Amino acid sequence: MSEKMLTGYRVVEYSAMSTGAMFASRFLADYGAEVIKVEIPNDPDDDSRKLPPIVNGVSATYANLNSGKKSVSLDFRTPEGHEMLMKLLKTADIFIAAEPMKYLAKKGIDYDTVKAANPSIIYGTLTCYGQTGPYKDIKGNDLVSQAFTASMTITNYKDSLPMKMGYNVGGYFGAINLVVGLIGSIYKRNETGKGQMVDVAMTDSIIASMCTLTAHYYVNGRMPTPGQSLAGVNDDPTKERIGARGLYKTKDGYECISANQEHLLRKIHAYLGVPNLLDTPEFQQEMKDTSVTTAINRHLTEWTTTKTKQEVFIEISEAGAPACPVLDYKEILENDNIANKRGMFQEVDEPGIGKMKVSMVSAHMMNCPAEIAGPAELQGQSNDAVLGALK
């Protein structure tokens, strides 16, 4: 196998309960970096090794997020431990921390302290609100980041309570942005010899992904509304975009169709060999009596309910319009494209658990492909190998 993209780089991580920061350093490990995870023994702020599900006393979630990393157990809050950590950081290219700087300073690992020990280090942080602004000293997590960024008010259905998205989007969006910033900073440091701090907020990461909503608000003052993700969005809210966009019932579940433009809807009709509804007198009359979206959805559902979701997927896709079956998580794990052709799950023999599959990184590079470097280590497993070399 070709040499991995980050082979030769050393990353030190202190993440405590931040699954986002753990995910970011997992990315770097999969890309070939040597990632050393520093854990404080019996740390009251860190229960990450107790995250469910637990198998034979081992956290499968922890194993997934920390595969391929070396574990060092070190209480750097003591003078001796802090001195050892500074020696370790002098050998590192990247340091990842996941708390507001106020708390990192109390532990002696704030940016100024680490920079003094290693001026060329890239110092990355992932927090809820970022390291600047009025909320910089306030702790938060993924749930808080979703509530703060309005994403919970547009994920729900009309007249229902605000709804959290089904996984930790703030932490994982933040992790991906942190990885981009860290790798970009390494590239720049290789030119200039100077390190820098990369400050990523979970709230910023979610907001950045809402760029289309931002455009609509600043152009026409339109506020995103609950359930809008399944409806058309137009510059003129008094007019509806002609197309099919939403979930459609099938014989065995639901199909997602996103043909939200008239030309895509016409492609579907042409492929199916039926007259274009938009041009029939009956449909024109129905559009006068009800909304365009309601009329289109009713007619399309009459067809989808006679098919399986896989049949609808194949036919709509062959027509040249975007569609897919609505999958549950078991179906994802068994999906040939995701699990096999894209290789998004790799098997690891995890001590205490046995063989289990972990999620792979999502950027596939032809000349230096990523792979899981190995299982997650027991706490302090690499103390002799890593710390012994510094004495």
Q: Which residues are 196's β-sheet partners?
A: 122
* Total-model pTM: 0.88
Q: Which residues contact 238 (CB under 8 A, 6 or more apart)?
A: none
pLDDT score recorded for residue 231: 44
Quick check: 165 pLDDT over 90? no
Span 151-175, average pLDDT = 86
Span 90-107, average pLDDT = 97
Closest CA to 131 of 140, 118, 143: 140
Say whether the peptide bond before residue 79 is cis (omega within 30 degrees of 0).
no
pLDDT score recorded for residue 232: 41
Q: Where are the beta strands (DSSP E) in the chain?
A: 10-14, 34-39, 54-55, 58-59, 70-73, 94-97, 122-127, 196-201, 244-250, 253-259, 323-325, 345-350, 354-359
Q: Band the pLDDT of 292: cuts 50, 70, 90.
A: low
Phi and psi of 77, rounded to 5°? -80, -15
Q: Band the pLDDT of 291: cuts 50, 70, 90.
A: low
Span 66-94, average pLDDT = 97
Q: What domains can be seen in the chain, in order of their start residue?
A: 10-208+339-390 (3.40.50.10540), 239-326 (3.30.1540.10)
Q: Band the pLDDT of 228: cuts 50, 70, 90.
A: low
Q: Scanning the structure block, which residue is given the tokens 């970009």?
A: 184
pLDDT score recorded for residue 276: 65
Quick check: 237 pLDDT over 50? no
